[in-house]
Structure formats: C-alpha cells, structure tokens
Structure 1
Amino acid sequence: MAKRKPISLTNYVTRILLAAFAIIFLILLMALVGFQLLIQFNLITPANAGETAARAEIDRLRQAGSFTGELNSQLYEYVYFDQEGQVQESSLTGNALKQAIERHPAEDVTYATGAYVSFPDGSRCLFTWRYTAYFTNEILQRLLPSAEVTYLSSVGLVLLLFLVFYTRSISKKLRQKLVLVEAASQQIAQQNLETPIPTTAGIREFNQVLHSMENLREALKTSLLKQWETQQQRTQEIAALTHDIKTPLTVINGNAELLLEDPLDTETKQLVQAIHNSGTKAQHYVSTLQQVANFDLISYEKEPLAVDSLIRELVAALSPLAKAKNIQLSYNYDQPLQKITGSAFMLSRALNTLGENAIRYTDTGTVTIQVKQTDNETHFCFEDQGPGFTSEALQHATEMFWQQDKSRTGDNNYGIGLALAKKAAQQHNGQLVLENTENGARVTLAIKNNASSNDPTGRS
C-alpha cells in the first residue's frame, strides 16, 4: 500500500472548509428538492396558492353576478361591502380587517396582494392573499406555523447539527495529531530516550515538529551517553588514583610507626607523630574517595533481591557494633516479604550506613529497625535514641561531604554516608527521609519494589 504523502496545514484547513461548504450546499440542494416534492405530493401548497384560489373565486363571482357567500377562505381572506361601502361579511376581524381595507382602498388600482370584484347591484368584494406556503393538512396548520417557516427551521436545525458534529469530528482528528506532539514532549520530559518518536502525523508542519523532537531526543541521548561515559571514566580514574595513593601513604605511616618505636628526642618525636597523624587522616580521605568511586562504578547493576537476605546480612553486620556499646537491636518487619529489584551493593551499603549511624549516636537504649512493604514500595526505617538532627542537619545532611554539627558526627565522619544512602534511594526511584522523634532520630529509606534503572545507556 502506497504511503500517503503529507499535506501542508493550509491545504488541510482548505480541505476541511471545502468539505464543509460542499456538504452544506448538498443539504440546501436536498432541502430545495424536498420542498418541491412536498408541493408535488400536495403535502404543502405553493407560495402563490392563495392568489390562484382568490382569482378563481373572483372569476366565479363575476360569472354569478352577485356575492354568493360560499367562499373557502383557507388560502385567502375576503371582505364584502354593500352599496354604501359598509362591511357586510368578512373572514377578517379587528385590526386585521382595518389594515386590509387601508392597504387596498380603491378598487380600480392593481395590488400585488389583493383584488376587487364588483357586482351589478353596486356591492363589491375585496380578496387578499399572501405569498406563502401552507400545509394542506388542517391539523398541521393549527399546530405549526407556516410551512415555509417550519421547513426553513428544520433545514436550519439540520445545518446546525451538521456543523456541531462536523466540528467535533475535525477537532477529534486534530487532537489525535496534537497528541503525537504532546506524547513526544512527555517522552523527552520523562527521559525516555530509547524509544523513537513517531514522525508521521499526516500534516507537514506537524511532521516537522515531530522530526525536530526526534532530533532533540537523539541529541539528548547522545549527549547524556557521552556525559555518562565521561563520568564513568573519571570515576574509574579516581578509583585507580586513590588505589595508587594508598600504597605510598601506607609506606609513610608504616615508617612513621617504626620511627615512633625508636628512642627519639622530644622535638623529633613530635614531628614524626605529626607525620603519622597526617598520613592516617589522608588514608581516611582516600578511603572515602574510594568508597564514592566504587559506589558509582557498580550503582547500575540490579537484580531480584530477597529482603529477608538483606536483613540477615544487616543483622550480622550490626550485632557486634551494638554488643560493643551494650545497645539492644529491635527488628520488626512483616512476613512474608516479597522480593524487590535492585542493586545488592547499593542497598547493603545504604542499610549498613543507616544502621551504623543509629548505633553510633545512641549511647544507651534501643535501636529499632522496621521494614514495611506495600504492593509498590518497601520502607526500611531506623530509629535511634540519640540527640536527633539539628534543623540545619535536616536540610543538608544528605549532601555529599557535608558535615553536621558535633551532636551527630564522629571523628571519622566525612559526610558521605547519608549522601550515598540518598543516591541509593534515588537509583531505586525512592527517597531518603530524615526526621526527629520524641526519643531521637528516624531515617527512612523508601524504594520502589520494581525499580527501573536510571542509567542513560538503558542497561538494567
């Protein structure tokens, strides 16, 4: 089947208008033919039926030579005057009678809507008519206005209905074409850059817009892919660099420790101790950078995960820490727990961070870990009995390398734990919620059960 060639918007609108005019002309033509058929089948009278009937009566009365009074005034009106000019009989009354006499004052004048007939005795009769069609059925004459008005009203109603339905039909067709443009914009807004955008709407201008949006999708996809590849390359370089830096730092710290074991004078020992402390701190910084780099490198690897297994690993990791501080761990979760789709590394790292933070900031009491599931989401909730978050920490604690006030920080806290936990939540289409309770703080990691990848390359 040959592909239809797109047309311009001007031609499309012209076709719509021409089609509308053609159908309107056809309706009017059919109305005219129908009106003639109604006259032919004697359902309505022609417009000059009143004049024809009146003149027939005039001829009959002239032959009779007097006013007989046997008149059928269904199609015309009459007024009979005696020799004195007084009205003796009429089909009209009141103002209608007065107006008919005023419009036809003289019998020797030719009128378009009236005529006189005179009799030998000096009396006369005025006949008047109107050029309009009548229903031949008396019931219809009483119930409806004139046939012309009724018929024209019917034709007008048909035209109005046609315009309404035709406009709705054209609007629907245009809406279907505009939906393609709207769907394309939504697709790009939702970052769905893998699915090609349809570029055929049947109208040249619409096709051009869709082509532009398809080119935009391709450009965005290429740009984001290059950006992602560049980011991955930089992350790998940072991971390799931090790995290489660890070796000389280990040598420096090892030699510093050996020197500290030797007998040194006070000044030299202080210098060596400063070298060892700085090297230790540098090792912590390098370790932090390495964690961030490794987290980014494998953040997109997702698979079906058993929540029970994640909890068992979490219990095994947190139990020694809680035991060392004589803190009780309380686990509360629904049974059975359905599987979720996600990155085991990301979620384990995030859950361990939240659990370790809760234990770190609780001096005495209980750390409660609760898991709740709905059909769409899984919530991991950690509650501690520590000092809670400050108002500033509630706003900035999830920012990378942000260090909160001393009420919830430690010597080795470099502001990456909550930032990585938030990133893990976002990569699973969820969120990390920080809040305070009456007894401490609560951190909730909420994720979608079937989290799709946000990788611009389209991998899962």
Structure 2
Amino acid sequence: MSKKSTIRGRIIRTVLELVTGTLLSILLFFIFTYLLVFTGQLNVYGSKMEISVSDSSNLSDVVQAMNNSIFDYVVFNRKTGTIEEGNYQKKDLPAYREVFAKNESISNDAVYYGYYANSEIVLTVRQPMIPEFVNPNLRHFSFNLFSYLFFFVIETILLIWSLTRLIKEFSNNFLLIQKKTLNMGQLTFKDKNIPAQIQEFDEILSVLYQKDDELTNLLKSERREKEDLSFQVGALAHDVKTPLTVLKGNLELLELTNLTVQQKEYTQSMNNSIVVFERYFSSMIDYSRLLIEDKDYGEQIHLSEFLSELSVEAKSVMNNAKVDFKIINTTKLIFFKGNRFNLNRALINILANAARYSSGEKKLRLLSLRKQSILIL
C-alpha cells in the first residue's frame, strides 16, 4: 500500500515538479543552442573573427576564407569602390559602404562591421554582437525573442500540467466525499469503499465509511423491527376480523327471522358497531403495510386505471352517506408518477370527510386537470 501524501506534501511536490521542469527546460535550451552553434546555424555573442589581410593576400584567397566562415562579407575594390565579391543582404549594404568610406570598423547595438584592407581590396565583415540565426530568412526573428518564447511556452505547459494534476486530484477527493455523503445509509445501493489519495481527505472518508456502515446497520435493524411489528399487527387484525365476519354473518341470518322492532334496533346497532370495528382493523392492516413500504414516489401510475379503482372504492363510502359522486377527467394525461397507495388513501380520506361533513343536497365532484407539468386532483 503506497504512502498517502498530506495536502502540504502534495503542494510541495507540485512546486518541486515546477522547479525540476524549469531546470530541465533550461538544460534542453542549452543543448538546443549548442546544436545550432555546432551545426553553424547560429552566431553567438562574442564570435568575432580576427582576419589579417596582408599585401600578399589576393581576392581569391580572401573569398575562399570567408566562404568557409559563417559571416556575411563584402569585398570592395580599394581604388574604384566597386564590389568585387560578397555574401550579404541588400538591406545591410549601406553599412558596408559606410565602413569603406570611413576606412574603419563601425558598430551599433547589435552588429559589428569589421574593416580589413590592403593596397588592392577592402574586406568588410558583418559580425553580430548578440546571438543571431545564420540563415538570412530567420534573422528578422530575434534569437533572444525566440528564447523568451521558448521558456514562456515550456513554463506555461509545465504550469498547466502540474496545476491540472493537483486540481484534478483535489477534485476527485472532494467528489468521493460528496458521493459518500449523499449516499449515506443507502440499503439498495452500496458502492465499493475507495480510499482517497490525500491523507486528510482519506481520514474524512474513513469516518464517513464507518458512519455509513453504522447507519446502514441501524436502518436494517429498524426495518427488521418494522417488519416484525407489521407482521404482528397484520396477524392480529386478521385474527380479530375473522370472528367479526362470523358474527356479521350470524346477524344477517338473524335479520332473516321475524324480529320485533326493538330487536331490529339492537341488530342494527350491532351491525354499525361491526362496521366500525372492521374499519379499525382495515386501518390496522393499512398501517402494517405503511410500516414496511419503500415509499416509492417514482412509481408509474396509469391515470385511467387509478381513477377507476378510486371510483369503485369511493362509491361504497358515498352510497352509505347518500352522496351523488362523480369523477371528471379533463386531461389527456396517460401516466403520472407517484405513490399509488398513499395517494389513494389520501383521496379516500378527503372524500370521506367531505361526504361526512357536507349538508343539504350532497354532491361531490373529483376533477382531474393538468397545469403545465403538474397533475391536479
């Protein structure tokens, strides 16, 4: 198992990466510069050449010597001032002529023009005082500017690479913490515990993993207790409801016999009590279902089927209360998402209360309509 770094150590490592990369870029630049000088593609600062043009030197000797060098030059005829031979750029020609006219070397901030002469010829040699490309097509692009751009590009790439790695590593650790925090105690989805790369984040994640396991075990224990309680409540409700059903059947048989008015009142009172008890035990069964339901509010529900089932269940309540009840569906919606059991129970309770507490001519209308993306009942 690799040793995890701290936040401070990770930042120091990024700084060391930048320093190391900078040193390597400097070394690479020196190697590149050396290769340019070695191959004769670059004139470097201080690369002057001392040329001796004696009286015995003729034009061919001078030209041969200069063609073996990397410098531009012009050879003038001392008497006529015409150019005998040369390797030069036209834009530099005025400087060469100035050297010939003054009979001495001249220089500016960037170039030194050397003067070498005998009784027949005058040799003027262009020698750069700062690093310069030998190729005339590249001279307009300063080598110093090239070096600045080289380091700027290298340092920019190095900085982006190092900081991107650092930010990505921090971001991944934050995302691990966020993911675990949002999924604490999930019973249906358990992801593998992935360690963080940085020590401080890993300590936080370790605590979250521990708390997640504790919460998951607690929820499982609570779920088991609810299932046990639900089973006991449901069993009790069914056990008690069975003799009530028998009692209700016996009362129906008793009503078929000849009863006095007072006896009929007694049987009616008993039937009402049985109905109340049945309602209580039905509520207990519903409560037992509520204890263990998953509370899935993303269930896809067919609207027409749901309203049909609701109508059948609601009419039994409305008939007892002598209420004129209708369901009017004004929407073309086919499916919607929700919790079928909870929605059905809530609507039945609302309708039952409306039927119970209404007065006069009792009419109930359940209207379904759609407003934008919302279903309204």
Q: Which band: TM-score by shorter chain?
A: 0.5 to 0.7
Task: Write the distance in 2 (CA, Å) between the matches of 1:230 and 1:166.
Answer: 54
* Contact 1:78–1:90 (8 Å) recurs in 2: no
Which residue is equivalent to 1:192?
Answer: 186
Runs of 5+ unmatched residues, structure 1? 101-112, 121-126, 244-260, 262-279, 382-460
Distance 1:352 1:48, change over 3 A: same
* Contact 2:53–2:118 (8 Å) recurs in 1: no
Task: Write the distance in 1 (CA, Å) between the matches of 2:288 and 2:230.
Answer: 7
- Output aligned runs, 1:233-272, within 5 Å: none
Which residue is equivalent to 1:406?
Answer: none
Runs of 5+ unmatched residues, structure 2? 58-76, 120-124, 239-261, 263-271
Distance 1:341 1:116, change over 3 A: closer
- Output aligned runs, 1:201-350, within 5 Å: 201-226=196-221, 294-299=285-290, 300-301=292-293, 308-319=304-315, 322=318, 324-325=321-322, 327-332=324-329, 337-338=334-335, 342=339, 344=341, 346-350=342-346
* Contact 1:329–1:368 (8 Å) recurs in 2: yes
User: What SS does structure 2 have at the residue aligned with 1:329?
Assistant: strand
* Equivalent residue in structure 2 for 1:182, among 174, 178, 183: 178
Which residue is equivalent to 1:154?
Answer: 150
Deviations 1:418-455 (A, max 9, x none): xxxxxxxxxxxxxxxxxxxxxxxxxxxxxxxxxxxxxx
One-letter amino acid of the structure 1 residue matched with residue 150 of structure 2: S
Which residue is equivalent to 2:350?
Answer: 354
Task: Write the distance in 1 (CA, Å) between the matches of 2:135 and 2:215.
Answer: 76
- Report how far residue 371 of structure 1 moved: 4.5
Name which of structure 1's ranges 228-237 and 364-373 shifts more when overlaid on structure 2. 228-237
* 2:136 matches 1:138: yes
One-letter amino acid of the structure 1 residue matched with residue 314 of structure 2: L
Distance 1:326 1:26, change over 3 A: closer
Distance 1:313 1:134, change over 3 A: closer
Task: Write the distance in 2 (CA, Å) between the matches of 1:365 and 1:89.
Answer: 126
Higher helix content, 1 or 2: 2
| Higher normalized contact order (CA 8 Å, seq sep 6+, divided by chain length) | 2
Task: Write the distance in 2 (CA, Å) between the matches of 1:369 and 1:206.
Answer: 55
Deviations 1:319-343 (A, max 9, x none): 3554554534233166784597856
Deviations 1:253-284 (A, max 9, x none): xxxxxxxx9xxxxxxxxxxxxxxxxxx9xx98
* Equivalent residue in structure 2 for 1:29, among 27, 30, 37: 27
* Contact 1:79–1:90 (8 Å) recurs in 2: no
What is the TM-score with the length of structure 1 in the denominator?
0.49
Distance 1:353 1:187, change over 3 A: same
Task: Write the distance in 1 (CA, Å) between the matches of 2:29 and 2:130.
Answer: 17
Task: Write the distance in 1 (CA, Å) between the matches of 2:336 and 2:153.
Answer: 64
- Report how far residue 169 of structure 1 moved: 3.6
Distance 1:81 1:239, change over 3 A: closer
One-letter amino acid of the structure 2 residue matched with residue 210 of structure 1: L
Task: Write the distance in 1 (CA, Å) between the matches of 2:116 and 2:38.
Answer: 31
**Between Structure 1 and Structure 2, how many residues are aligned?**
307
- Report how far residue 156 of structure 1 moved: 2.7
What is the TM-score with the length of structure 2 in the denominator?
0.58
- Report how far residue 234 of structure 1 moved: 7.7
